[in-house]
Structure 1
Amino acid sequence: MTCIIVDDEPPAIRILQKYVAQLPDITCVASTTKSIEALQLFQEHEPDVIFLDIQMPDLTGIQLSKLVKGKTKIVFTTAYAQFAVEGFELNAVDYLLKPIAFNRFIDAVEKVKNSLAIPHETTAKNITAPETDYFFIKTDGKNRFKKVMLNDILYLESIKNYVVLHVEGEQIVTYNTLKYFEENLPEHLFAKIHKSYIVALRKVTHTDTNEVWVQQQCLPLGDTHKVAFFEKINQKKL
Structure 2
Amino acid sequence: MIKCVVIDDEQAAIDVLINYIRRVSDLELVGTSTDPIKGFDLIKSTNPDVIFLDIQMDELSGIELMSMLSHEIQVIFCTAFSDFAVESYDLEALDYLMKPIPFDRFMKAVKKIRKFPSSSEKIGPDEIADDYIYVKTESKGKILRVNFVDIDFVEAKNNYIAFHCGKKIIMVYSTMNYIETSLSSSNFKRIHKSYIIPISKIALIQNNFLMLKNCGDQIPIGKTYKTDLLNLVNHKLLSDGNNYKFDC
Instruction: Using structure 2 for the length normalisation, give the TM-score.
Output: 0.46
Select the structure of larger CA radius of gyration.
Answer: 2
TM score, norm. by length of structure 1: 0.48
